Each structure stands twice: as C-alpha cells, then as structure tokens.
Structure 1
Amino acid sequence: MAIAVETTFHGVSLTTYDDLLRRLEFRRGGDSEPGCLFHYTVPTDDGFRGVDVWESAEAFDRFVGGRLAPVLEHLGIDRPEVTMAEVHNYLIAPPDRRDPS
C-alpha cells in the first residue's frame, strides 16, 4: 500500500539539502530512489520539509536504513521529524505531458 511520508528537517539549510542530494547521487528533476513514486521539497521557517509518496513503508525503511541514514550521519544532520499516512490516491502526469525543463 502506498504511503505519504513527510520528513521535516529543523535547522538544516536548503544548501545542505542540495549537498545531501548530491551525495545520494540524485539530481534536481531526476530519478528518485526505487520505491519512491515522487518527491518534492519546500523551505520551512527553520529548515525544509520533504514530501514523498512511497510504494510501501518497507521501501521507505530500506532507503532510510540503507542509504539515507549513513549520509545524514556523515553530514552531522539529526534524523528528521517523520509523519506517515496511507495514501488513498495519487495522480501523475503521463510521460508525454510532463514538463521537460
């Protein structure tokens, strides 16, 4: 079952978020982690929030334990505040209607 995951990072800049992406070998507008259906990030008053839809809680847990946690530790970033909810529905644009930029 798909799940929505919000990760709120307090006291972490968007510049550090960009470094985190680079270290995870992601790029803006590029592919996400296997099992992550989509991801976006917004600034907050004291950091940033990532919002994802994952195929399952297990897929999210594999990413956190296998790839994300070691990079967070290396960068000295505390684990984020995480909230999860079951997804009733989500929509995505078909490939031929996505913005190429």
Structure 2
Amino acid sequence: MAVAIIMEFKGATLAQYKEVNQKMGLTPGGPGPAGSISHWAAETDGKLLITDVWESREQYDKFAQEKIGPLSMEAGFPAPPTTTYYEVANYFIPNTAV
C-alpha cells in the first residue's frame, strides 16, 4: 500500500537539501528513486519540509536508512527529521498524453 511521508528537518536549508540530491544523482523534475511516486520540498519557518509518496513504507524506510540519513548528516543537517507516515487512499500519476 502506498504511503505518504512528511519529513521536517529543523534548521536544515535548501542549499543542504540540494547537496544531498546531487550526491544521490537526483535532479529537479527528473525521475526519483525506485519506489518513489512523488516528492516536493520547501523551506519554511526555519525548517526544511519534504513530502513524499512511496509505493510502500518498506521501500521508503530502506532508502531513508541507506541514503537520506547518512547523506543528510554528511551535508550538515543539524538533526534527523521528525517523520510522519500516512496510508495513502489515492494518488495521481503525471499525465503523459500528447
């Protein structure tokens, strides 16, 4: 079942976020990691807010453990995020009609 994940990184910046994405080989508007359905990020109220939708929590948890955690600490994020999970009732995929 698809899962939505909201991560709040207090004190992290968009510059640090961009550094982590670069190290992961991810580019804005490009494809995400295997299992990722959607992703967006914003800097607000002294924190970095990231919202993802993944095919399963297991896929997200593995990616977070192997990539997000180590690379965010390497980029100088002050602490791990506060993370909230939600079961997704519905989502849309990009319209690829020409």
Counterpart secondary structure, 1:95 = coil
Range with bigger deviation, 84-93 or 68-77 = 68-77
Give the alignment's TM-score, normalised by structure 2: 0.91
Give the alignment's TM-score, normalised by structure 1: 0.88
Counterpart secondary structure, 1:94 = coil
Once the two structures are superposed, residues 26-73 of structure 1 have per-residue CA deviations (whole angstroms, 9 ceiling, x without a partner) of 011111111110101122110211101010110001101122222122
- In the TM superposition, 1:26-45 aligns within 5 A as 26-45=26-45
- Is the contact made by 2:5 and 2:53 (CA closer than 8 Å) also made in structure 1? yes
- Structure 1 gaps of 5+ residues are none
Counterpart secondary structure, 1:63 = helix
- Structure 2 gaps of 5+ residues are none
Structure 1 stretches of 4+ moved >3 Å:
none
Identity of aligned residues (%): 31
